Every structure is written in C-alpha cells, then in structure tokens.
Amino acid sequence: MSSVEDREREIMLELVRVTETAALRAGRCMGMGDLNLVDGAAVDGMRGMLSLVNIKGTIVIGEGEKDHAPMLYNGEEVGTGRDNQELDIAVDPVEGTRLVANGLPNAISVIVVASRGSLMPVPTFYMQKLAVGPEAKDYIDINAPVRENLRVVAAALGRRVKDLTVVILDRPRHAELIHEVRQAGARIKLITDGDVAGAISTALPNTGVDLLMGIGGAPEAVITAAAMKCLGGEIQTKLWVRNEEDTARARENGFSDFDRVYSSEDLARGDSLIFAATGITDGDMLQGVRFYGPKATTESIVMRMLTGTVRRIHTTHDLSRKTLRSFQAGQEMTL
C-alpha cells in the first residue's frame, strides 16, 4: 500500500467533516433571503475546519479573490501544513447560495482534493457542458446536435427519447436549447442554480436525471469532473465567453482555442482525486440539513477515484454537546 493511498484514506472522513460544518452553518440561514449571510456562515465554517486538517493544500478553484473575503480565494493556503505532499483544493462552500437563501432544493457544500497540478485553472467564468452517467459516456459529443445526443443517450440507456430527463439551468441564454430538447420530445427539469449536483445526479442511481446540458460556471465544471471520474460518468465542456473581456482573460491565461472540447480527464487529471459533498437543502443527490431541537442530521457523499469507492454518510449531530469550528472567531462555537 503506497503512502498516497494511506494518506487519501486518512483524510476522507476529515473532508466530510469540512463539508458537514459548512452545510450546518449555512443550513441555519435557510430561507432568510440573505445571500451574504449564507455564504459568510459556510465559508467561515469550511475555512475553520480546513485549518485543522493535516494537509498542505492550496485553493486553486475558489469562489473569489483575496480582497473579496469572506470567500475562500485562489492561492489561499489551507490545512495545518504538516504534510510532505502538496495538494490542489477546489471548493464551493455553498453551491447554490440563492437556493439556500430562498429555501429551494439542491444546494450542497463541496470540496475536491487532488495532487498538485491535477485541477485545470479555468480562465473564464463559464463553460458549455454536457454530462451523462457511465452507460452513455462513450457516445456523447458536445459538438453534435441536441437531438443526436438525446438519441444516442436514449439508445445507451435502453429507453426512448421521451423517457429521458434533461437538467438545464433556467437562464435566457438557454431558450434555444430548451426549444430543441422539447422538439426532440425529452422531458426537462429546469433548475435555478446548482448545476454541480445536477450534473453528478446523471451518474448516480435513482435520481431520475439522465443528462445535463447548457452553459454554467467554469469552476463548477472542474469540481463536477472530479466527481464524474470517481463515478465513471463523463462531462464534456467548451469555454464560453460572454464578451471581449472574457476573451482577453482567456488568451492571457493561454487559452486561445475556443472550439476545443475538454473532457473530465482534461479538467481533473490522474487518479489521485477525492470528492466530498454534504447536502444543505433537500435535492436529487443528497438530503439537506434537518434540525430536531438539540440535534441535526446531515447526508454526505465522499468518493475516491483511486479505488472507485463511493460512501454515503448519514450523520446525527448532537448540538447540545457538539461545537463547530469558526475561523473568524478562531475557536469552537455552538450552532
């Protein structure tokens, strides 16, 4: 057994504790209508727990720049530093901030840990995406017409096109895509936010989701790619630029071919990948945080690429005895 394998096994539960803390903190803010309150609580909890994990990590996919705290920013060093192996960290303390603020489903807290240099530092804010589960991964083509992708996925799953459910972000930019899917006869599930959970659900059993299509966040595509590799699914992506500023930013970072297709392996390379997520609000992928007087329950999923292990963890937290780490306060606090 290699030291890398041993190390990954050791930190898997620690990463779940990181996302659990962020989810519990954000869960207290559900339905309050305050996006900053949700983000601030989750980030403070996630940063506080990461400070206790024995890793030497650097945030390479974060939610903001250093001057825009409280977001975990690109380049931020996390962990105790007491480890020889340097790691890339991708985080989204709340994937679906508006969902939590408005009490809507499918919000999660998520983290990806990978060996240094494994996660692609995407230069644009958005990407075109096409995600499917293991059975259909070898047949999709993001450059093919929508109708053709629906046809081959249906064939791979042994279904009719009209039996498929496609997840699409409810955005004006997707008006033509939605029209094409409807014309082909497939069913559509529109979501307001949270396309990480939507994409991953295509590779999980009993979610009722078969494909994710459309344009979403680029950092979220990298996080999704790590999960899809663990599950055997696939996400294909292409850079999507909104304006000249996006184009210039991409070119400055060495990305000039806007027709190139990036696979899961391009976005999250190698097999040293761990993905962990905890539900904040109920969704297709995970049950959200639920409070019962002095107790709360969470549901999490943690996956490891090297072994293909996928664990679901249902946890009961006794809040009368349990404290949660606050980075801002520099101490444990009650919830």
Arithmetic mean of pLDDT, 83-93: 90
Q: Looking at the predicted structure, is the pLDDT value of residue 331 above 70?
A: no
Strands (E), 38-97: 56-61, 77-78, 86-95
- Whether residue 254 sits in one domain with residue 239: yes
- Whether residue 319 sits in one domain with residue 252: no
- Whether residue 133 sits in one domain with residue 252: yes
Q: Tell me the pLDDT of the chain averaged across its residues.
A: 91
Strands (E), the chain: 56-61, 77-78, 86-95, 108-115, 126-132, 165-169, 187-191, 211-217, 234-240, 273-279, 290-292, 295-304, 309-318, 324-326, 331-333
Distance between CA atoms of 187 and 167, rounded to whole angstroms?
9
Q: Looking at the predicted structure, is the pLDDT value of residue 38 above 80?
A: yes
Q: Looking at the predicted structure, is the pLDDT value of residue 335 above 70?
A: yes
- Whether residue 283 sits in one domain with residue 261: no
Q: Say if 148 falls within a structural domain.
A: yes
127: which strand partners? 216, 239
Contact, 92 vs 109, CB < 8 A?
Answer: yes
Q: Looking at the predicted structure, is the pLDDT value of residue 28 above 90?
A: yes
Q: Name the domain boundary from 221, 247, 267.
A: 267
Q: Say if 206 falls within a structural domain.
A: yes
Task: Identify the domain containing residue 150 by its residue range.
Answer: 126-267
DSSP 3-state of 140 = coil
Contact, 72 vs 43, CB < 8 A?
Answer: yes
- Whether residue 93 sits in one domain with residue 137: no
pLDDT digits (tens, 9 = 90+) for 232-276: 999 999 999 888 888 888 888 888 888 999 999 999 999 899 999
Would you place residue 125 in the very low, low, confident or very high pLDDT band (cuts 50, 70, 90)?
confident
pLDDT digits (tens, 9 = 90+) for 214-228: 999 999 999 999 999
Arithmetic mean of pLDDT, 40-51: 93
DSSP for 12-39?
Answer: HHHHHHHHHHHHHHHHTTTTS--HHHHH
- Whether residue 79 sits in one domain with residue 143: no
Which two structure tokens, joined as six digits, stand for 87?
A: 């790691």
Which two structure tokens, joined as six digits, stand for 230?
A: 């663990």
What is the count of structural domains for the chain?
A: 2
Q: Name the domain boundary from 215, 237, 267.
A: 267
Q: Is the dihedral of CA 49, 54, 59, 61 positive or negative?
A: negative
Q: What is the pLDDT of residue 66?
A: 43
Q: What is the pLDDT of residue 186?
A: 98
Residue scoring higher pLDDT (81 or 126): 126
DSSP 3-state of 269 = coil
- Whether residue 43 sits in one domain with residue 137: no
* pTM of the entire predicted model: 0.92
Distance between CA atoms of 121 and 58, rounded to whole angstroms?
12
- Whether residue 112 sits in one domain with residue 13: yes
Q: What is the pLDDT of residue 3?
A: 57
Contact, 233 vs 133, CB < 8 A?
Answer: yes
- Whether residue 187 sits in one domain with residue 207: yes
Residue scoring higher pLDDT (65 or 219): 219
- Whether residue 218 sits in one domain with residue 190: yes
Contact, 176 vs 197, CB < 8 A?
Answer: no
Which two structure tokens, joined as six digits, stand for 29?
A: 């803010």
- Whether residue 45 sits in one domain with residue 13: yes
Place of tokens 């305050």: 34
Q: Looking at the predicted structure, is the pLDDT value of residue 4 above 70?
A: no
* Percent of the chain surpassing pLDDT 70: 93
pLDDT digits (tens, 9 = 90+) for 147-167: 999 999 999 999 999 999 999
Q: Looking at the predicted structure, is the pLDDT value of residue 9 above 80?
A: no
Which two structure tokens, joined as six digits, stand for 319?
A: 């809040």
What CATH number does residue 138 fall under? Answer: 3.40.190.90
Classify strands 324-326 and 331-333 as parallel, antiparallel or unpaired: antiparallel
- Whether residue 263 sits in one domain with residue 289: no
Q: Name the domain boundary from 234, 267, 300.
A: 267
Q: Say if 121 falls within a structural domain.
A: no
What CATH number does residue 320 fall under? Answer: 3.30.540.10
Arithmetic mean of pLDDT, 126-131: 96
Q: Looking at the predicted structure, is the pLDDT value of residue 141 above 90?
A: yes
Q: Say if 70 falls within a structural domain.
A: yes
Arithmetic mean of pLDDT, 69-84: 81
Q: Say if 312 falls within a structural domain.
A: yes
Arithmetic mean of pLDDT, 76-97: 90
Which two structure tokens, joined as six digits, stand for 233?
A: 């699914």
